[in-house]
Chains A and B, each alone.
Chain A
Amino acid sequence: LAKTTQPISMDSYEGQEVNITCSHNNIATNDYITWYQQFPSQGPRFIIQGYKTKVTNEVASLFIPADRKSSTLSLPRVSLSDTAVYYCLVGVGSGNTGKLIFGQGTTLQVKP
């Protein structure tokens, strides 16, 4: 099971681009990388998922280098409402084992 490592916290200002990097050195060949956002007293919400290179949706971009041992979530022009905890989750590889373990996450504080 791939273990993930993220910075505990980050600060930013409104309008800036924020990049949060996650390390997953033991990622397996079939693992996908998924990012979630969690606000206080709510369940995490899916943001973006990727396998390699770059993925972009209406919320964020996900950059994955060729070795796939890390990934970077990029949030363009953050606002105060982007203040939340962001989790990087790496799948359990082939098969349907169902075991999905979250790391500690990164608390992003966006300031005015």
Chain B
Amino acid sequence: SQTIHQWPATLVQPVGSPLSLECTVEGTSNPNLYWYRQAAGRGLQLLFYSVGIGQISSEVPQNLSASRPQDRQFILSSKKLLLSDSGFYLCAWSVGGTNEKLFFGSGTQLSVL
């Protein structure tokens, strides 16, 4: 069966520090991969999505970037965190297609202080 791993679960970082969040998927090939962010009490904001290795689409201009070095690995990064980067970061995968279903990881709660 397919599983998605996301780590760390919680992270406290100072403003201006770098960020690296990693997500890996097991049990499937060539998944679509996603990074969403959820601010406290708010909805899910799509940050990046990828339909293949090296193919990254950005939805929101910001100081974050994403990379997909391997088929089932998706990394979210920042060179310098801002206070506004605080939030709940969720990785998700799907098999694509018109009836695709999203499967989410357990999330990373990031606090930038």
Contacts and interface: CB of A to CB of B under 8 A. Distances in A.
A and B: interacting chains: yes
Interface string B95-107: 0111111111111
Interface in B10-28: none
Contacts, number: 76
Interface string B28-57: 000010101000000110100111000001
Interface of A: 30-32, 34, 36, 41-46, 49, 51, 87, 89, 91-105
Contacts of B103: 46
Please report whether the interface of chain B is mostly helix, strand, loop or mixed according to DSSP. Answer: strand
Contacts of B34: 98, 100
A102 B46 CA distance: 8
Contacts of A105: 43-44
Contact of B96 (A34, A46, A93, A96): A96
